[in-house]
Amino acid sequence: MCGIFASRDKMRFYELAAKNSYRGSHSHSISYYDGNRIQVMTKGLGEMPEIDLEDGYYYIGHVQAPTTDVSDENIHPAFDKGDYLWHNGIILNSQIKKWQESWKEKWTWDTYFMLWNMNSGPTEDILSETKGSFACVWYGKYQPSLTAFRNDNSPLFYTEEGDLSSTKTDNSLSLDSGVFYSLSKDKKWVKTEKVFKTKDEFYWSPK
């Protein structure tokens, strides 16, 4: 289990961090989005430290209670060629093996493999065929802004003020499953017309 949380308000960000702390303390990261790029401020093993945050940015946090061994190399966000992915969930082993065979790669970190695969074709089609659970924040160099999405198997909530959280909070709403949400210029989540389907297999499936 992992926790994703984000806010344009630095005080609110740490409130969301506290609400999501039960979701993992094995590793952490804090990043910000300035409207043009992502900057990872801190990431490492152990509990999230409280660092000074400046006004004017959109902050993204991630905490992790891993289902596999975690090293410094597989702490969120996953990064590849200018793209970033924060992920809560588990991709099925059968899906990872399929990707390994297709791409002739031996990576085992599901989040990195998911990001790599998302860049290989139409994202909606790829996610519709991805077996497992996922709720994600994604920054793609060819995307107009930050994107958030989830499938039926993982929770992710947002507020009208622009907060995002794996844990439900007061006045928060669930992101619609299979729908891409984009962060607007005033740092609020807006539903888009891009959609995908949930592959009908849960992450705890023995397959």
Position 145 in a domain: yes
Task: Say how many C-beta atoms besides its own lie within 10 A of residue 53's C-beta.
Answer: 17
pLDDT of the residue at 1: 79
* pLDDT tens digits for range 130-177: 999 999 999 988 888 999 999 999 999 999 999 999 999 999 999 999
Sequence-separated (6 or more) residues with CB below 8 Å from residue 197: 128, 178
Position 189 in a domain: yes
Domain tally, the chain: 1
Position 186 in a domain: yes
Residue 137: CATH number of its domain: 3.60.20.10
Identify whether the C-beta of residue 59 lies closer than 8 Å to the C-beta of residue 53: yes
pLDDT of the residue at 71: 62
Full domain range(s) for residue 189 = 2-195
Query: What's the CA dihedral at 46, 115, 73, 11 to 10 degrees?
Result: -30
pLDDT at 15 over 70: yes
Query: What's the CA dihedral at 70, 130, 116, 144 to 10 degrees?
Result: -110
Position 206 in a domain: no
* pLDDT tens digits for range 67-115: 655 566 789 999 998 999 999 999 999 999 998 998 898 888 899 999 9
Position 204 in a domain: no
